[in-house]
Amino acid sequence: MAPLIEAELAGRVLQGALQHGGDFAEVFCEERSGLGLAIDESRVERVQRGSERGAGVRVVRGETSYFAHVDGLGESELERAAAAVAAAARGDRREIQALAAAESPPLQEIAVAPAEVPAERKAELLRACDQTARSAGDEVAQVQASYAEGSRRVTVANSEGRFAVDDRTRVRLGVQVVARRNGAVETGFETLGGHRGFELVTEGAAERTAERAARIALTLLDADPAPAGAMPVVVGGGFGGVLFHEMTGHGLEADHVQKGASVYAGKMGEQVAAPDLEAFDDGRLPGEWGTDGIDDEGTPTQRTAVIHEGRITSYLYDLVRARKDGVDSTGNGRRESFRHLPIPRMTNTYIAPGEASPEELISEVERGFYAVSFAGGQVDPTTGDFVFGVSEGYLIEAGKVTKPCRGATLIGNCLEALGRIDGVASDFEMKTGFCGKGGQRVPVGTGQGHVRIGELTVGGTAV
Amino acid sequence: MSDELEAIAQRAVEAALAAGAGDAEAYVQDSVGREIRIFDGEVESLTEAGERGLGVRCWIDHRAGYAYGTELSEEGLGGIARDAVETARIADADEFAAAPSADGAVAPPEIPGLHDPTLAQWTTERKIELAKGIERAAREADERVVGVETAVYADEEQRVAIASSTGLAGAFEATTAYAYLQAIAEAGGDKQTGLGFGMGRSPEGLDEEEIGREAAERAASLLGARKPGSRTCPVVLDPIVAASFVGFIGGTLCADAVQRGRSPFAGRLGDFVASAALTITDHATDPAGLNSSPFDAEGAPRGQTPLIEAGKLAAYLHDSYTARRQQAAGAPGTRTTANASRAGYRSPPSVSTSNLVVAPGAKGFEELLAEAEDGVYVTDVAGLHSGVNPVSGTFSVGATGRLIDAGQLAAPADEFTIASDLQSMLKAITAAASESRWVPFGGSVNAPALLIGEMAVGGS
């Protein structure tokens, strides 16, 4: 794709931003547009379209970042942003490196551009989800489904000569089903998403997502209150990977580490997990939700081994934190939009598949909990304390999955729980999520096969 | 400036009608903000933010559509208007979807102090000093505070204008300023974090000593925390935690959730859903409430709505759509409570709480602890939004706090859960403390500490 601004203008904006000094300057331009619609009460509604164009200009001097953002990509807007940043920044002047032709990373394969598909076709897709879920059982009381597509075209230029573009297309479908029986009300939720075109949701994929959401809700109608107490926990594949995302991924983000606000600070090279545990952050996984060609600072994305043979092998860096540690960026400088400063963020983070089968992991548990999927989670990277809401969970008794449980939460401490992972299965799957940090929401992929943690606290209502 | 925004809104409405809309409504927002992040006594980042955008909602034969954008030239407005019309044509017809009427609308209330001119008198340098002062205050408040993970100061001056083809029009200006920090305390190999925050209409209203000290106290008081034993016992929620839960309950009392069968309080109007100790009001015009405004996101004049009065469910919150739907469902007297809200120009209006105010009780905080006698004092919860099922009301969330022993605060506790369901919890509220504070969690909530007679605590 062609850059959103010409090299000549980008050069002038960078010069302007550095006119009173600074170590580094960058201009990030973005054109984003999207379409969203939903079905609720079997009626297609909340159809909305949006488009925004703008730029963020940043100057870094020492440890300080000066940032300004404007709507619009005209020369006057860009110069206004550069002037606002220059007014705040002071320091020795730096010469900027000349910009060559913009680099364009290999783009993800988009078979069917979503914008080319008539919107009515997307409404039909939601109607199909609604019908599929409703026909899954008489106890299905409500179905909500939503479809969203988004396009982000970005251009980054910086004073070190980086000039790169990226074109990102994402599609995501979410289905929520509520089932009722007498007084019991349960919900099931399933998503499907990727850095992909409309092909992702066709050929029955949308219907299968709806069917699975319905099945979860119907299964949970038979649930008992979740147990409370410490016990072995088997975590499901796919979205179960959000556990690793929260309890390890965040703590490996270099901003937390450099501030001493991470339990993984000072632990580079240390054994934190069983010697067969391998984990990665991979911004290049084809078609995945957290995949981009470049990060939002223009660095090509890469596959980074964060844990190798149970030892920490890398933190996740953006340019500013990499410079501080004297290393290269790992391509993890991401931002929600041109209105945000880039910070170290995960892309697709996962535990690599192991040898066991999920059934083997479960069969070795006398009494425990099987957390198939989560509604979400949260971690305090400083203390390592985390909490997860279980959206689908079961009791494990005598090596067998038995009763479904409602209202379970998993709580624990990152380092303890990571050290207690005593089995990883070979079934591997990636799922989509949105990760919030510093007020910025970015798409991330989470994944793993089934994982067993020797002991974890399950918080339920059955005391 | 506001005149200019109103003119843009009017032109957008005309563009939508010209593009084929039966009715149209436009919302224009223009904001200028500043954010300062401090780490280790130095500025980590300084952001100058300017944002201006337009959202157009339109209706064609009871089909509603929405589009937004940042291009506000004539051509840009035309494009957004055409997008809005296109989206309406994709939506299915909904007999209750229609433009809000201006009939019988009264003049919006004046909210003194909503726009505080003192914000403009603060230079960036002075704001940086304030943010640094907050970090310093935390470090000086307790020697066990070893660091602060970013102290943040932010402010915003916002202008909003709205216009519709049914004759609604208006504009207002508001300022906000807030600061927060996360202090890190360490002792005996244990690390804990604590949050401090303050908010107001201008930095004048932020007390740097108080904000820093709160973060230090919260972090230090948790040092040495252990997992409590699993049991069922009285639980005292501090105002921050109480506000988070109240905000969540407010969401279940929005008519949209009720009408679509997604609220555990559907069909309970007039019932005693909580203990007599609980009174909650949605108060949209209190100048201290950060979500206050003269009119709501679709132009209806704001006011107050009693939600729970001494335990009795008094009302649900409505916008024009849910009110119309309720009228047809056998409650012809239903009117909008002016609770249409939006997160900004990117989102169409939907029903939401404004500021929730929980009435304080007669007892002091110490008396609440004495009444609990043996239980847990919760100062933070995590995972509220993944841990509560808004349809069934069941929840289990991670918590930290202190044990209550013989009516006094005792050893710190962490890594435990509190679990119940919203219905049982509301019934189990035994008392509200006499002192409240504004909390920016769960929306915007003014809450006292609450004593819950019985709750499941999950620990070791």
Per-residue pLDDT, A406 = 84
Range list of H helices, B47-179: 74-90, 124-141
Q: Please tell me whether residues A261 and A138 are part of one structural domain.
A: no
* pLDDT for the residue A463: 47
Predicted structure pTM score: 0.93
- One domain for residues A348 and A448: yes
| Amino acid making up residue B435 | E
ipTM comes to 0.91
Same domain membership, residue B444 and residue B351? yes
Q: How far is B80 from chain A (nearest CA, A)?
A: 8
Q: What is d(CA A383, CA A380) in angstroms, rounded to the nearest whole number?
A: 6
Mean pLDDT of the A101-129 span: 93
Residue of B nearest to A413 (CA): B415
- List chain B residues with CB under 8 Å of A17: none
Verify that A190 and A280 share a domain, yes or no. no
Give the chain A residue nearest B125 (alpha carbons).
Answer: A88
Residue count (chain A): 463
Do residues B329 and B439 both lie within one domain? yes
| Interchain CB distance below 8 Å, B348 and A44 | no
Give B387's pLDDT tier (boundaries 50, 70, 90): low
**Cβ-based contacts of B387 with chain A (< 8 Å):** 375, 387, 389, 409
User: Does A82 reside within a domain?
Assistant: no
Whether residue A284 lies inside any domain: the answer is yes
Q: Are residues A402 and A453 in the same domain?
A: yes
Q: Hey, are the CB atoms on B147 and A178 less than 8 Å from each other?
A: no
CB-based burial, B391-423: b 16+ in 10 Å, e otherwise:
bbbbbbbbbbbbbbeebebeebbbbbbbbbbbb
One domain, residues B300 and B389: yes
What does DSSP assign to residue B114? S
Same domain, B303 and B412: yes
Cα angle: B25, vertex B28, B34; to 5 degrees: 155
Residue at token pair 């007020």: A439
Residues of A in Cβ contact (< 8 Å) with B416:
411, 457, 459
Given A221, A237, A266, the domain boundary residue is A221
User: Does residue B386 carry a pLDDT above 90?
Assistant: no
Task: Say yes or no: A289 and A258 in one domain.
Answer: yes
Contact B50 A71 (CB under 8 A): yes
Region at A92 (left for phi over 0; alpha for psi -120 to 50; beta for the rest) = beta
Domain range enclosing B409 = 231-458
Across A314-336, average pLDDT: 97
Query: CA end-to-end span of chain B, whole Å?
Result: 60
| Boundary of a domain, candidates A193, A221, A249 | A221
Q: Residue B171: is its pLDDT beyond 50?
A: yes
- The tens digit of pLDDT for each residue in B9-33 reads 999 999 999 999 999 999 999 999 9
Chain B residues in contact with A446 by the CB 8 A cut-off are none
Of all helices (H) and strands (E), which one includes residue B170? strand B169-187
Q: List chain A residues with CB under 8 Å of B415.
A: 385, 411-413, 457
Q: Which residue from A317, A310, A316 is spatially nearest to A276, judged by alpha carbons?
A: A310
**Does some domain include residue A211?**
yes
Beta-carbon separation of A67 and B47 below 8 A: yes
Interface of B with A in 153-172 (CB under 8 A): none
Q: Cβ(B160)–Cβ(B29) under 8 Å?
A: yes
β-pairing verdict for B444-458 and B408-421: antiparallel
Residue A243: strand, helix, or coil: helix
**Residue from B28, B29, B31, B45 to probe the interface with A (highest A Cβ count within 10 Å):** B45
pLDDT at B63: 98
Q: How far apart are CA A430 and CA B97, in angstroms?
A: 39
Cβ within 8 Å of residue A450, ≥6 positions away: A234, A235, A236, A237, A240, A356, A358, A361, A362, A423, A424, A425, A427
Furthest-apart CA pair in chain B: how many Å?
Answer: 72
How many A-B residue pairs are in contact by the CB < 8 A criterion? Answer: 252
B82 CA: distance to closest CA in chain A (Å): 10
The last residue of one of the domains, among A186, A221, A256, is A221
3-state secondary structure A246-284: HHHHHHHEHHHHHCCCCCCCCCCCCECCCCCCCEEEECC
> Do A171 and A236 lie in a common domain?
no
Q: Is residue B40 in a domain?
A: no
Q: How far is CA A25 from CA A75, A155, A406, B95, B258, in A?
A: 17, 14, 52, 54, 51
Per CB-CB distance under 8 Å, the chain B contacts of A54 are: 70
Please check whether residues B381 and B271 belong to one and the same domain.
yes
CATH number of the domain encompassing residue B208:
3.30.2290.10
Q: Measured between beta carbons, which residues in chain A are less than 8 angstroms from residue B88?
A: 47
Range of the domain at A142: 114-221
Give the pairing type, strands B280-283 and B355-358. antiparallel
pLDDT at position B80 is 98
Q: Count of H helices and E strands in chain B?
A: 10, 18
Instruction: Please judge whether A339 and B51 are an interchain contact, meaning their C-beta atoms are less than 8 angstroms apart.
Output: yes
Q: Are residues A157 and A268 in the same domain?
A: no
Q: Distances in Å between the alpha carbon of A364 and those of A359, B262, B281?
A: 9, 40, 53
The count of structural domains within chain A is: 2
Distance from CA of B47 to the nearest CA of A (A): 5
What's the mean pLDDT in B431-456? 94
Is A411 a member of any domain? yes
Pair A217, A341 in one domain: no
B147 and B273 inside one domain: no
Residue B304 and residue B263 in one domain = yes
Mean pLDDT value across chain B: 94
- SS3 (DSSP) at A360: helix
> Does the beta-carbon distance from B386 to A382 stay under 8 Å?
no
- Tens digits of per-residue pLDDT, B330-352? 999 999 999 999 989 999 999 99
Residues B309 and B365 in one domain: yes
Q: Residue B313 in contact with residue B270, Cβ under 8 Å? A: yes
Across the interface, of B51, B90, B386, the residue whose CB is closest to A119 is B90
pLDDT band at A239 (very low <50, low <70, confident <90, very high): confident
Could you tell me if A259 and A161 lie in one domain? no
A285 and A386 co-located in one domain: yes
Answer whether B184 sits within 8 Å of A260, measured CB to CB.
yes
Mean per-residue pLDDT, A424-431? 93
* Within a domain: B379: yes
Please tell me the total count of domains within chain B: 2
A71-74 long-range contacts, Cβ below 8 Å, gap at least 24? A71/B50, A71/B51, A71/B52, A71/B53, A71/B70, A72/B70, A72/B71, A73/A4, A73/A5, A73/A29, A73/A31
Spatial separation of the C-alpha atoms in residues B452 and B428, rounded to whole Å: 5
